[in-house]
Each structure stands twice: as structure tokens, then as C-alpha cells.
Amino acid sequence: MKFIRLAAIAGAGVLALGLVSCSSTGGKPAGSGEGSGGGTVDTPRMVVAMITHEVPGDSFWDLIRKGAEAAAKKDNIELRYSNDPEAPNQANLVQSAIDSGVDGIAVTLAKPDAMAPAVKAAEAKGIPVVAFNSGFDNFKSMGVQEYFGQDEKLAGIAAGEKLNADGAKKVVCVIQEQGQVALESRCAGVRQGFKGESEILNVNSKDMPSVEATITAKLQQDPSVDHIVALGAPIALTAVQSVGNAGSQAKIVTFDTNAALVDAIKGGQVQWAVDQQPYLQGYLAIDALWLFVNNKNLIGGGEPTLTGPSFIDQGNIDAVAELAKAGTR
């Protein structure tokens, strides 16, 4: 069963990369540029809005934006990037994009119920919408035509199974934003895949000192915790401080990466990270809109295009580290 899941993920990754290669020659090449992968197209200028639930200060989103910018440069697209971590405000940004007459919208669906009316408004105007990063379980029911990201539940199960292999006995899965469906799915998957004891710990990522204090208090209260599962690089790096504060022997693993997290894996402070390839998510979301507007292509044939999960650990960190320095991993 594990082999089948991983094979499906690998196949999706090959599909995604193949589509990137193919679309890089879409239209007539008109010169070349950094990150273009084959020159820019000569199709009419498009305007695409990318709207995320980015939390300020989380450099994970820089990777998504860089991927989106590379695709936009290649595809002769004016990219309008905006973000707000609060779902009602994010929905308002979608409505503003609709009112401005964009040709396509790429959006994250961290809180689908709050985003649904704005997405429907775009569809009513005939504006194609794709989702990425968050919304795996909801994009179809919302009428969104494509999704690029990982199956968060599947990624959590894979992480749980890796914890089994690591010999973990008791883990705490840290959710930094209650109600965020992707985060909750990750922890649910961890609990399903992990054979030992697991707990959920809710923290507030808008107050990082409180995050550090909460994790520290949990480790002091329960010395039997041997692994902390973070759901984002900033939380993992904060947990490193908490482990030191508590004098704990707990090991830290995480979902998602940034340059500092890569250094932490190299230094042994973090054991491994689940990688969903954010650069690829941003790239595919923008490229998909170009393909649909110009050729009515649908990547994935209506099914989600998976960009993860894969694992970054001591075995492959050196190769990834060079890419992280360049700002693409």
C-alpha cells in the first residue's frame, strides 16, 4: 500500500515536470530570461492575480512567489501578487481582482468556506480559477478547475510512518492556526500513520514568543515526548529553542522548508522535513492558467496534481542546500 501511494506521487511529479517542460515552448519563443526554461512566449499579455494566505515573515511563501514569477516571465503574464492570512480579507482580495478584470486567478484555499463566495463570483464572470498549496479536499466542490499541491492527509500518513521507522514512541503535532484545513489534515494523517502515542498542541503563530513558551511548557510537563512534529519551518526553528529551554531530548521534524530550516537539518537540530515543493506549486499555478486561456488545457485532467510529499534529510540535504541558497527550495 505504501509503495502504491509513493508510486502515485512520483508519477504526478514526473507529470508536473513534463508539463513544465512542454509549456516552456508554448507560443513562439521570444528571447530568453532567467527562470524562463526556454524563452518567453509571443501570446497576448495576460493579467493573473495570485492571492495567498501568506503569514508575514514566513519565507516559505517567497519560494511560491519565485516560482510564480518565473512562469509569469516566460508566459508574458503580468502577475499581481497579494496576500492576507485572514480568510475574509483574502476573499476581499479575490473580489478586488475580479473587479479589476484579471484574466485568471490562482488562490490558496486554507479556509474554503470563507473563500467559496469569492471563488463563485470569479467563475460567474468567466474568470478561470486554479488553487494551490491548500484546498486539496475542497477545490472540486467549489468548482475550481485545477489544484497543485500535496494531499495533506497522505503527507501526514507518510510522516507518521517515517516516525515509526525512526523509533518514535510519543509525538506532539503542533498546529499553529486552528481551523486551517491543511494543517489539521497533516496532524490527522500523522496520527493515522503513527503507531505510538500522539497529541495535538495548538499554538498561535502570530505570537512566536508564546509559541516558544507553549512548546517549552509541554516538554517540561511531559518528558516522555520524544518527537515534536512542526507544520512549518518557523515553528520547527522555534521548537529548537523550546527543546533547549526545557532541557529535553525530544527530536524535531517538520513539514515545509526554508533556507534556515535547511541549515538546521545540516546541523542536526532538525531531523527531516516533508517537502511539498512550493516553487513548483507557484510555477504550475501560473503556467496552468496560461495553458487554459491559450489552449484550453487542464493539467491533471480534473484531478489534483501532486507536488509532494518527499523527504529532505541528511541523505540529500547537500544537494538541496545549494538550491536553497539560490532561493528556489
Taking CA atoms, 281 is separated from 67, 129, 305, in Å, by: 7, 14, 9
What pLDDT is recorded for position 161?
Answer: 98
Mind listing the domains of the chain with CATH numbers? Answer: 2-150+284-306 (3.40.50.2300), 152-275 (3.40.50.2300)
Burial of 1 (0-12, 13-18, 19+ CB in 10 A): exposed
Task: Please say whether the beta carbons of 228 and 201 come within 8 A.
Answer: no
What pLDDT is recorded for position 309?
Answer: 94
pLDDT digits 0-9 by tens, 37-47: 457 888 999 99
Burial of 141 (0-12, 13-18, 19+ CB in 10 A): exposed
Task: Please say whether the beta carbons of 70 and 36 come within 8 A.
Answer: yes
What pLDDT is recorded for position 315?
Answer: 94
What pLDDT is recorded for position 57?
Answer: 77
* C-alpha span between 238 and 28 (Å, rounded): 48
- Output the pTM of the full model: 0.83
Which residue stretches of the chain have pLDDT < 50? Answer: 1-37
What pLDDT is recorded for position 24?
Answer: 36
Residue whose C-alpha cell is 489544484: 147
What pLDDT is recorded for position 31?
Answer: 43
